[in-house]
């Protein structure tokens, strides 16, 4: 039986890593490309604030070809969808029929992704969808994955939280209401080692900074989903 030619929407974090792990062990799919959105103004991974150099080092350590979707600093939905369509059209021409995401719970986001991709004849798959997030994080650690927190919602976390490596005690020390996988945008991570890697990705911790943003009203995937007009994010810069 031939495998479905699939590209993976790679965020650089733990959920992507675990979802990719499961797909690589699924004989129905062949993962031939990783796709990541990058803020072209800062040359950093969208949402996570990760340097593009580390993203490239990470995908090379995984060993799957990768490409970037370059977005402006604050893209409108029109610009976002134009850029995505451009990429999907290219991938479709290259023979891709399926795409995968590391989403777990966000129903509206899944419906949006499926509807947009269906227009182009691409089927979206979600390998860890609706899994218990506490179980997912424990599985992630038991498999030998390693991940560091690169940004966090200041509503729940302070400066000390970013730059820490997630371990087994992490779950028990989370504030009330925070999802163990940060699925509601509470925090994001950079995965630097584990069973999908040929070698660990080396980095050192850099500066920690705090930034405030206006809450997006039409974005499909914000760092923090909030009813307030502004929200704060702590970042830890990782240096290759």
Name which of 73, 39, 74 is nearest 216 in CA terms.
Answer: 74
pLDDT values of the chain reduced to their tens digit, one per residue, 240 residues: 789 999 999 999 999 999 999 999 999 999 999 999 998 878 899 888 899 999 999 999 999 999 999 988 777 889 888 999 999 999 999 999 999 999 999 899 999 999 999 999 999 999 999 999 999 999 999 999 999 999 999 999 999 999 999 999 998 999 999 999 999 999 999 999 999 999 999 999 999 999 998 765 544 444 444 444 688 999 999 999
* CATH code matching the domain that covers 4-125, chosen among 3.40.190.10, 3.40.50.880, 3.90.1150.10, 3.40.50.620: 3.40.50.620
- At residue 157, φ and ψ (nearest 5 deg) are -135, 155
Question: 177: Cβ–Cβ under 8 A, 6 or more apart, which residues?
Answer: 156
This prediction has a pTM of 0.91
Domain spans in the chain, listed from the N-terminal domain onward:
4-125, 145-239
Dihedral of CA 10/15/19/21: which sign? positive
């Amino acid at each position: 039986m031939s495998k479905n030619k699939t590209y993976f929407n790679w965020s650089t974090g733990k959920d992507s890593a675990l979802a990719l792990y499961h797909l690589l062990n699924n004989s129905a799919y062949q993962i031939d490309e990783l796709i990541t959105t990058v803020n072209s103004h800062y040359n950093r991974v969208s949402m996570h604030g990760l340097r593009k150099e580390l993203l490239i080092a990470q995908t090379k350590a995984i060993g799957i070809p990768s490409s970037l979707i370059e977005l402006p600093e604050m893209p409108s939905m029109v610009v976002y969808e134009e850029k995505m369509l451009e990429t999907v059209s290219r991938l479709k021409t290259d023979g891709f029929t399926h795409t995968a995401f590391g989403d777990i719970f966000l129903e509206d986001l899944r419906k949006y992704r499926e509807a947009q991709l269906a227009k182009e004849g691409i089927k979206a798959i979600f390998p860890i969808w609706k899994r218990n997030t506490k179980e997912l994080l424990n599985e992630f650690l038991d498999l030998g994955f390693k991940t560091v927190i690169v940004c966090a919602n200041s509503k729940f976390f302070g400066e000390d939280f970013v730059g820490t490596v997630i371990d087994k005690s992490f779950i028990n020390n989370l504030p009330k209401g925070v999802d163990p996988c940060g699925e509601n945008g509470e925090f994001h991570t950079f995965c630097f080692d584990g069973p999908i890697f040929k070698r660990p990705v080396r980095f050192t911790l850099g500066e920690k900074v705090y930034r405030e943003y206006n809450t997006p009203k039409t974005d499909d995937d914000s760092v923090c989903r909030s009813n307030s007009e502004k929200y704060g994010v702590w970042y830890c810069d990782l240096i290759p």
